[in-house]
């Protein structure tokens, strides 16, 4: 049952992170961090629920992959923002 509690707690972290992400700006980075933490918590909870540390190790690997994907997404968004900012400066 402990795994179920961990899963629910992790899921709540994911939703809280999503809410922070939707706020934008610096909150978006904080929100992504919370979201990753929540997802990892949910996956760890599933690992505990099914009774294996192997599943928990897989969860940490999935978290690492998700962090990389989100980092790439943020870098692409930052590049688009920089292009828009330069375009605005040229128009001024």
65-68: long-range contacts, CB 8 A cutoff, minimum separation 24: 66/36, 66/39, 67/36
Q: How many domains does the chain have?
A: 1
- Range 2-22 average pLDDT: 50
pLDDT on residue 70? 82
pLDDT at 6 over 50: no
Report pLDDT digits (tens) over 64-91: 777 888 888 888 888 888 888 888 888 7
Rounded to the nearest angstrom, the gap between the alpha carbon of residue 87 and the centroid of all alpha carbons in its chain is 30
Count of CB atoms situated within 10 Å of the CB of 21: 18
pLDDT on residue 12? 53
- Domain encompassing residue 59: 2-91
Rounded to whole angstroms, how far apart are CA atoms 43 and 48?
Answer: 9
Would you report the helix, strand and coil content of the chain in percent, each value rounded to 5? 90, 0, 10
- Range 8-33 average pLDDT: 50
């Amino acid at each position: 049952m402990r795994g179920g509690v961990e899963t629910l707690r992790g899921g709540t972290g994911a939703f809280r992170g999503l809410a922070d992400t939707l706020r934008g700006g610096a909150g978006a980075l904080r929100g992504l961090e919370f979201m990753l933490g929540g997802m990892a918590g949910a996956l760890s909870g599933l690992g505990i629920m099914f009774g294996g540390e192997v599943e928990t190790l897989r969860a940490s690997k999935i978290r690492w992959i998700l962090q990389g994907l989100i980092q790439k997404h943020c870098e692409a968004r930052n590049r688009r923002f920089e292009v828009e900012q330069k375009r605005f400066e040229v128009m001024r």
